[in-house]
Amino acid sequence: MSPDRVVLAARAWLGTPYRHRASRPGAGCDCLGLLRGVWRTLYGAEPAAVPAYRADMRADDNPEALRLAAERFLSAETGTLAAGQVVLFRLGGLDEPRHCGIMVSESRFIHAQEHLGVVEANMTPGWAKRVSGRYRFPAASS
């Protein structure tokens, strides 16, 4: 999938308020809801139903769920951060990622943050050290 298309789709969500488990542009989303909404823009329907999940990032009922979903539906990448990539973040000293965003350049990303909503932010050293994986959206089928 073209990085430009991914970035354009992600930027359409800027300003959307934060709402746990939501995925409606302008109405509300969380980080996964943002990713789901971009997927719908790029491909139509979502690839699978999303099971219930808690807002508490320390909930350990399925700590690897975000990473496993990324491995299933996206293509893993290595190397430097780049526009169009989905990035996963470890938070709070946890081993598994609990947050995600979409790169718009090698130094900026879009994500849904509690109390702020969907914002474009700098990939500061603090964020960069928490990156636990990067992925590409798959090529569109013709």
Task: For 26-67, write each residue's pLDDT tens digit.
Answer: 999 999 999 999 999 999 999 888 887 877 655 567 789 999
Per the domain annotation, does 52 fall within a domain? Answer: no
Residue 24 confidence (pLDDT) above 70: yes
Report yes or no: 53 and 47 within 8 Å, Cβ to Cβ.
Answer: no
Phi, psi of 15, rounded to the nearest 5 degrees: 90, -10
Residue 10 confidence (pLDDT) above 90: yes
Per the domain annotation, does 54 fall within a domain? Answer: no
Per the domain annotation, does 83 fall within a domain? Answer: yes
pLDDT at 59: 58
Per the domain annotation, does 55 fall within a domain? Answer: no
Phi, psi of 112, rounded to the nearest 5 degrees: -100, 120
pLDDT at 50: 85
What domain range includes position 101?
3-47+63-136
Residue 73 confidence (pLDDT) above 90: yes
Total domains, the chain: 1
Per the domain annotation, does 78 fall within a domain? Answer: yes
CATH number at residue 85: 3.90.1720.10
**What single string gives the DSSP state of each residue in the chain?**
--HHHHHHHHHTTTTPPB-TT-EETTTEE-HHHHHHHHHHHHHSS-SSPPPP--S-TT--SSTTHHHHHHHHHSEEE-SS--TT-EEEE--TT-SS--EEEEESSSSEEEEEETTTEEEEEE--HHHHTTEEEEEEPPPPP-
Written as one letter, the residue type at 140 is: A
pLDDT at 56: 65
